[in-house]
C-alpha cells in the first residue's frame, strides 16, 4: 500500500469510529436520562441529562487522544486504559440499570449492545491505529533504504567513470612513450625510418580514432547520466509538492473540525444552563436563542432558556432562518 491508501484507511477508520461513538452517545443520553430523572429530586430533574453527557464526554476524550497517541507511536501509560475501561463500564452499567432493576433480561441485552460496541470499537480502533502507524514507519524506512541505495549506485557510477578516465590518460601516456621510442629508433636506424614512420602514423591514426570514439561514448554516457539525474530531481520535487499539498489539506480539515467542535461546545454550554425565571441580558439572550436554533429546539423551549417572550424569540428564529437561506442562496449561485 502507498501513503494515499494508508491515509484513506485511516480516514475510514476515524469516520466509522466517530459514527459509532456519536450513535452510542445519543442512545446513552436517551436511555440514561429517564433513569437519572427517576432518582433525582423533582426540582433538579432538569439535570438528568448531565450524567450521560459527562460520561460520554470522557469517552470522546479517550477516543480522540488514543487516536493521536497511536498516530504518533506513543503510549499514555496505565491511566488512559483505566479511564477507557471505567467509562465503558459506567456507560454499560447506566444503560442496563433500568432494565436490570425491572428484571427485564431482554431489555438488558438490548441496552448493552451500544455500550459493548463502543468499548470494543475503542479498543479495536486503538489496535488498528497502532498497526497503521507501525506500517507507515516501516514503509518510510523502506523508501529511505531505496533512496540510499540509489545514491550509492550513483556514487559507484561516478567512481567507475573516474577510473576509466584515469586508465585512458595512462594509456595515452603509454602511447606517447611508444611513439618517442619509435622516433629514437628511426633516428638510429636510417634505413628503417620510412617504414617506422608509416607504422607510427598508422598507430597514431588508430589511437586518435579510438580516442575520439571513446570520447563520444563518454560524452553520451555523461549526457544520459545528467538526464537521469534531472528526471530524478524533478520526480522528487513533484513528490515533495504533493506531500506539502496533502499536509495543507489535512491541516485545513483539522482546523475546520476544531472550529465546528468549538462551536458545538459553546452551544452546549449555553443550553446546559437550563430554563431561567428572569430575562437574560439581550446579548446573552441572543446567543442562547442562536444556540437553540442551531440545535433545532422549539421556540417555546428557547424562550424558557433565555427568559424572553415567545414572540421575541420567534422573531429571532425568523432572522436566523432568513440569514441561513441567504447563505444557501449565495452558495448555490
Q: Identify which of 37, 34, 32, 35 has the alpha carbon closest to the alpha carbon of residue 52.
A: 32
Residues 6+ apart with CB under 8 A from 88: 59, 115, 118, 119, 122
Phi, psi of 48 (to 5 degrees): -60, -40
pLDDT for 330 beyond 50? no
What pLDDT, in 10s, does the model give residues 205-227? 898 898 898 888 888 888 888 88
Prediction pTM value = 0.33
Q: How far apart are CA 13 and CA 71, in angstroms?
A: 12
Mean pLDDT, range 198-202, rounded to an integer: 86
Q: Which pLDDT value is given to residue 333? A: 41
Q: Which pLDDT value is given to residue 329? A: 42
Q: What does the mean pLDDT of the chain come to? A: 77
Residue 288: pLDDT band (50, 70, 90) is confident
What pLDDT, in 10s, does the model give residues 252-278? 888 888 877 777 776 676 666 677 777
Question: Residue 82's Cα: distance from chain center in Å?
Answer: 27
Mean pLDDT, range 196-200, rounded to an integer: 82
Q: Which pLDDT value is given to residue 102? A: 76
User: Lowest mean pLDDT: which of 69-78, 102-111, 252-261?
Assistant: 69-78
Mean pLDDT, range 162-189, rounded to an integer: 87
Q: Which pLDDT value is given to residue 73? A: 59
Contact 94, 32 (CB under 8 A): yes
Q: How far apart are CA 303 and CA 233, in angstroms?
A: 65
Mean pLDDT, range 55-60, rounded to an integer: 70
Q: Identify which of 175, 173, 166 has the alpha carbon closest to the alpha carbon of residue 207.
A: 175
Task: Choose from 70-74, 239-243, 280-284 the range with maximum mean pLDDT.
Answer: 239-243
Burial level of 285, CB count in 10 A (0-12/13-18/19+)?
A: buried
Task: Choose from 2-11, 19-28, 111-120, 138-147 the range with maximum mean pLDDT.
Answer: 138-147
Mean pLDDT, range 120-136, rounded to an integer: 69
The 3-class secondary structure across the chain, one letter per residue, is CCHHHHHHHHHHHHHHHHHHHHHHHHHHHHHHHHHHHHCCCHHHHHHCCHHHHHHHHHHHHHHHHHHHHHHHCCCCCHHHHHHHHHHHHHHHHHHHHHHHHCCCHHHHHHHHHHHHHHHHHHHHHHHHHHHHHHHHHHHHHHHHHHHHHHHHHHHHHHHHHHHHHHHHHHHHHHHHHHHHHHHHHHHHCHHHHHHHHHHHHHHHHHHHHHHHHHHHHHHHHHHHHHHHHHHHHHHHHHHHHHHHHHHHHHHHHHHHHHHHHHHHHHHHHHHCCCCCCCCCCHHHHHHHHHHHHHHCCCHHHHHHHHCCCHHHHHHHHHHHHHHHHHHHHHHHC
Q: Which pLDDT value is given to residue 327? A: 42
Contact 223, 231 (CB under 8 A): no
Residues 6+ apart with CB under 8 A from 240: none
Amino acid at each position: 500500500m502507498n501513503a494515499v491508501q494508508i491515509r484513506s484507511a485511516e480516514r475510514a477508520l476515524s469516520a466509522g469510529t466517530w459514527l459509532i461513538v456519536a450513535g452510542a452517545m445519543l442512545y446513552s443520553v436517551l436511555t440514561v436520562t429517564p433513569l437519572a430523572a427517576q432518582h433525582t429530586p423533582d426540582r433538579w430533574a432538569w439535570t438528568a441529562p448531565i450524567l450521560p453527557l459527562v460520561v460520554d464526554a470522557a469517552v470522546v476524550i479517550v477516543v480522540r487522544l488514543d487516536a493521536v497517541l497511536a498516530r504518533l507511536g506513543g503510549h499514555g501509560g496505565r491511566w488512559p486504559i483505566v479511564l477507557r475501561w471505567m467509562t465503558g463500564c459506567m456507560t454499560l452499567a447506566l444503560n442496563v440499570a433500568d432494565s436490570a432493576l425491572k428484571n427485564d433480561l431482554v431489555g438488558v441485552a438490548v441496552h448493552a449492545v451500544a455500550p459493548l460496541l463502543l468499548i470494543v470499537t475503542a479498543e479495536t480502533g486503538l489496535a488498528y491505529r497502532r498497526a497503521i502507524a507501525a506500517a507507515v514507519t516501516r514503509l518510510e524506512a523502506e523508501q529511505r533504504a531505496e533512496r540510499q541505495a540509489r545514491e550509492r549506485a550513483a556514487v559507484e557510477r561516478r567512481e567507475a567513470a573516474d577510473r576509466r578516465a584515469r586508465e585512458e590518460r595512462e594509456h595515452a601516456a603509454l602511447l606517447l612513450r611508444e611513439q618517442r621510442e619509435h622516433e629514437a629508433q628511426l633516428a638510429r636506424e636510417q634505413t628503417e625510418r620510412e617504414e617506422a614512420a608509416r607504422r607510427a602514423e598508422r598507430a597514431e591514426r588508430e589511437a586518435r580514432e579510438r580516442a575520439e570514439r571513446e570520447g563520444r561514448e563518454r560524452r553520451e554516457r555523461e549526457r544520459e547520466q545528467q538526464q537521469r539525474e534531472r528526471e530524478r530531481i524533478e520526480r522528487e520535487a513533484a513528490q515533495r509538492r504533493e506531500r506539502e499539498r496533502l499536509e495543507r489539506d489535512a491541516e485545513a480539515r483539522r482546523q475546520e473540525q476544531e472550529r465546528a467542535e468549538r462551536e458545538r461546545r459553546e452551544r452546549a454550554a449555553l443550553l446546559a444552563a437550563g430554563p431561567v425565571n428572569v430575562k437574560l441580558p439581550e446579548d446573552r439572550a441572543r446567543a442562547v436563542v442562536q444556540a437553540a436554533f442551531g440545535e433545532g429546539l422549539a421556540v417555546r423551549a428557547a424562550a424558557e432558556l433565555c427568559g424572553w417572550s415567545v414572540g421575541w424569540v420567534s422573531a429571532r428564529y425568523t432572522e436566523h432562518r432568513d440569514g441561513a437561506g441567504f447563505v444557501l442562496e449565495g452558495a448555490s449561485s
